Amino acid sequence: MNLSLYFVTPDGAEDLEQLVAAAVRGGATLVQLRDKHRSDAELIPLARRLVAALEAQGVPLIVNDRIEVVLASGAAGLHVGQGDLGVAEARRRIGPDRLLGLSVEAPEHLEALPLGVIDYVGAGPVRATASKPDHAPPIGFEGLARLVAAAPVPAVAIGGLGAGDARAVKAAGAAGMAVVSAIGAAADPEAAARALALEWGRA
Which residues are annotated binding-site positions? Answer: 32-36, 64-65, 84, 103, 129-132, 160, 180-181
CA–CA dist 62, 133 (Å, integer): 21
Radius of gyration of the chain (CA): 16
What is the 8-class DSSP label of residue 113? P
Torsion of Cα atoms, 127 then 50 then 192 then 64, to 10°: 0
167 is an active site residue: no
User: Which of 66, 91, 98, 132 is the catalytic position?
Assistant: 132
Phi-psi map region of 14: left, alpha, beta (phi>0 left; psi -120 to 50 alpha): beta
| CB atoms closer than 10 angstroms to residue 66 | 25
Asked about 34 being catalytic, the answer comes back as yes
Asked about 98 being catalytic, the answer comes back as no
Binding residues for Mg(2+): 65, 84
The residue from 4, 73, 103, 170 that is catalytic is: 103
Residues 6+ apart with CB under 8 A from 114: 87, 88
Question: Which residues carry out catalysis?
Answer: 34, 103, 132
